[in-house]
Structure 1
């Protein structure tokens, strides 16, 4: 079976033949070794040296140099909002105190759907509305920001075009 042994990060992707894509939720994007099949049918073994968080827009490098695009799957989440910046910061603190994955935006925070946390947020004056969208939580302080090493594999600047992908 063909193997994928390297990841090219979306900010370092310059060129290459993208032959397929895998659509993975947040949990499925934290991998080291697993058999995968792309949407177009390309079967391969993901065989990385260490467990890695794959980000939306990354590419997996197959043994023959072809690339498989990584796309974040839509997930059922709660969109947490607050009436003020200070109130949102308080909610972020309470969410973080529960040690759950969270994606922090300028005016909202997204967490996995959980009725207990939704009630906590509402009890603290915020809103928690169900949404379906890709989940890109923070990597954590002990994961170097993204929880993965950067294998850029080239020595040029990063002002190049990227293959299109959805953000809906």
Structure 2
């Protein structure tokens, strides 16, 4: 479905409407931080994001547009990640410290850390007592303490 009409995305809405056309917009973790600019939906429809500053696009968000018949649904893209685990919680904490010290984005789960696949980081991790596995998964990194998002 491709329309000639310009669709401008203007705000988040709290509940998914029952009626209307939903355009899916699949974005990786970096792209979900950018709230303004042109994008192509999954069906190649060009849209323009003009969202209020200070937010972040999350998996499953529904966005309103300048046309009350159209909505945009945000889908988090599957990314190449490194899953980091250890039998030692202390070793995992030390690893998180060193990743943070290098300003590497990290998603923290109960017993694992996740970060984007990167051969330099992977080589650094070999110096720690951790297991690393390359996986494909949606990535939701922690927002930093000094984040301007």
**Structure 1: gaps spanning 5 or more residues:** 148-168
Query: Partners in 1 of 2:118 and 2:47 — Cα distance?
Result: 34
Query: Partners in 1 of 2:34 and 2:55 — Cα distance?
Result: 5
> TM-score, with normalisation over the residues of structure 1?
0.75
Task: Determine which of 129, 134, 147 is the counterpart of 1:125.
Answer: 129
Query: Partners in 2 of 1:108 and 1:87 — Cα distance?
Result: 11
**Structure 2: gaps spanning 5 or more residues:** 1-5
Alpha carbon RMSD of aligned pairs, Å? 1.9
> TM-score, with normalisation over the residues of structure 2?
0.84
Q: Which residue of 2 aligns with 1:73?
A: 77
Task: Determine which of 59, 65, 68 is the counterpart of 2:62.
Answer: 59
Contact 2:16/2:62 (CA < 8 Å) preserved in 1?
Answer: no
Contact 2:15/2:62 (CA < 8 Å) preserved in 1?
Answer: no
Contact 1:101/1:138 (CA < 8 Å) preserved in 2?
Answer: yes
Matched, 1:6 2:27: no
Runs of 4+ aligned structure 1 residues displaced above 6 Å come to: none
Query: Partners in 2 of 1:5 and 1:102 — Cα distance?
Result: 30
Task: Determine which of 12, 30, 34 is the counterpart of 2:33.
Answer: 30
